[in-house]
Amino acid sequence: MTHPQTEAILFPPIEPYRSGRLPVDELHTLYWEECGNPHGVPVLFLHGGPGGGLSPRHRRFFDPAHYRIVLFDQRGAGRSTPLGEYRNNTTPLLIDDIERIRRMLGIERWLVFGGSWGATLALAYGQAHPGRCLGFVLRGIFLCTRAEVDWFMHGMRWFFPEVHAQFVAAIPDAERGDLLRAYEKRLFSDDPDIYLPAARTWSRYEGSCLFLRPDAEAIEDFSSDAVSLGIGRLEAHYFLHGGFMHDDQLISNIGRIRHLPAVIVQGRYDVVCPPLSAHRLHEAWPEAELQVIADAGHAAVEPGIAAALVAATERFRKRGSFV
C-alpha cells in the first residue's frame, strides 16, 4: 500500500498512450509503454530486481505534461515473456534492449531514472552509451560487487534476524554453507514444485526488508508467483554471475559519465542496499548530488525518498539539469 503522504507527493495516476511488445530474440519478448507528453523530454524508467517488473506507480515520478515517459519490463520480468527466463539474460543484453527501444521510438537522448538494480543498469547503460543520456536520477545504489551480494545473502540478518532465519530455513543444514548455490539448485530446477517455493521464499525475504517500517502489502506482493519467480530466479542468476560485469566495473568506468548531471537518492536505513555503496559512488563521482534521506529504508515509495525523486525530476524539468 502506498503511504498516504506518498500519494500526495507523486503525480496523479496515468495510463499509457501507447504500448507494445518487442521480440528481442527467439526466447524473449519485452513489454513496453509510453506515458505523458508524446512531444516531451524523454525519460527512461528502469525497474529494480533484477526481475522486479513495472508498477503503475512507476509512471508517477514525472510531470506527465512535460515528460515523455518510457517504461519497459526487462527480460524475464513483469509482462515480458517468458517470466523468470534466465537464459539469454545478461547485463550487456539488457543494454542492447534499451538501445533497441530507444531506436524504435526515435529518441536521440533521454534522462535515465532507476532504483536499486535499476540504478545498476542505468549506470551500466550510461557508461556504454554516454552520448544517449541527458542525466541520471539514481536511488538505492547497488554496484553489484561481491561484498554487496554477500551482504544480501548473509549480512541482512544483523537487522532482520527472524526474516533471514526463514530464508535459511528453506535450505537443509548440510547446504547452508553456501546459500547462493543452494538456492541456485532449487530456483533453476525444472520442477515447479521445487522452484516456485524457493522463489517465493527468496522474494519474500527481500520484500520483508525493503521499508523502514515493514509493509505487509508489499511483503504479500513480493510473495506472489507473478513477482517472486522473476525476482527469485533473476536476482540469483545475476548474483551468481557478478552482474555480468567486472568486479567494481561501475566505479572503474565512472569517468565515462562524470560530465553528465546526476542526483543520487539514498535511504539512511536501507538494509537491502546499504548507504556505503551510494557513498562510494559519490566519492568517485563528486559532481553528482547525493541526498541521504534520514527517515527511509530502500523503497521508492517511502515518503522521503519519493519526495526527493519527484523533486529531482522537477528540477531537471525546470532547468534542463539539476544545478
Catalytic center residues: 116, 270, 298
3-class SS letters over the chain: CCCHHHHHHCCCCCCCCEEEEEECCCCCEEEEEEEECCCCEEEEEECCCCCCCCCHHHHHHCCCCCEEEEEECCCCCCCCECCCCCCCCCHHHHHHHHHHHHHHHCCCCEEEEEECHHHHHHHHHHHHCHHHEEEEEEECCCCCCHHHHHHHHCHHHHCCHHHHHHHHHCCCHHHHHHHHHHHHHHHCCCCHHHHHHHHHHHHHHHHCCCCCCCCHHHHHHHHCHHHHHHHHHHHHHHHHCHHHCCCCHHHHCHHHCCCCCEEEEEECCCCCCCHHHHHHHHHHCCCCEEEEECCCCCCCCCHHHHHHHHHHHHHHHHHCCCC
